[in-house]
Structure 1
């Protein structure tokens, strides 16, 4: 059971096959056609649409500490509110390469653009696992 970012890293590092983590950083935005009540909720820090702004793949060993991941994200110049994480399994004792991660990462971005967070793990800027929805 994954309840925190350290749990995620621990699980990824202890799988039978090496893993590569996929990260999609999203910013909360208010849709142009939002109602007045949606606008008020958004101003209060609730609701809105999550829009992907940056994506990256990393080996778990490269991002053991969430602080390092957050610091690297700052260098992109893109503000974000939630980062979604998924894992890819390697084969033959070898973790997937960045090239192999591109198609799954693109698919992840597209599903998030469609508002379907699926089975991705969402973390806030402090590395805390968050619950989306009611």
Structure 2
């Protein structure tokens, strides 16, 4: 199945043979310290910036009615965000991942996002459309 938007991801996760927990890390964009005039202009034009996790949650895909419902729920519980990174953890041999395993997976996602390592994650914009990110070194 091709994933063209967040709702496709939900449908895909719901169809998996083993139950899934979706891991969601909501991201805000910030200006880097000592940003150049060019970086500031790009940021204000909606391009560039540093990714900063602002909240995270794990959910059963059946708990999320749609991307629009997730967006509305996130507005009730947290600060504004620009992107949501998604991943998942699966049940194994009929055993659900523990809370500790799920929390560790979420924290690992956050560390990877901060490091610019996006492998194994699907980011979506506020419209539920997939985003292709390019990691750019500032050194």
Question: Structure 2 length normalisation: TM-score?
Answer: 0.88
Q: State the partner residue of 2:22.
A: 21
For residues 76 and 56 of structure 1, what CA distance do their matches in structure 2 show?
Answer: 11
Q: Report matched runs for 1:1-134 at 5 Å.
A: 1-133=2-134
1:73 CA drift (Å): 0.8
Q: Which runs of 4+ in 1 moved over 4 A?
A: none
Per-residue deviation, residues 25-75 of structure 1 (Å, max 9, x unmatched) = 000111112111111111111000110000000000011311121111112
Q: Is the 8 A contact 1:57 1:98 kept in 2?
A: no
For residues 99 and 73 of structure 2, what CA distance do their matches in structure 1 show?
Answer: 17
Deviates most, 1-10 or 47-56: 1-10
1:90 CA drift (Å): 0.6
Q: Is the 8 A contact 2:27 2:53 kept in 1?
A: yes
1:94 CA drift (Å): 4.5
For residues 131 and 112 of structure 2, what CA distance do their matches in structure 1 show?
Answer: 18
Q: Give the paired residue count.
A: 134
Structure 2 unaligned residues grouped into runs of 5+ = none
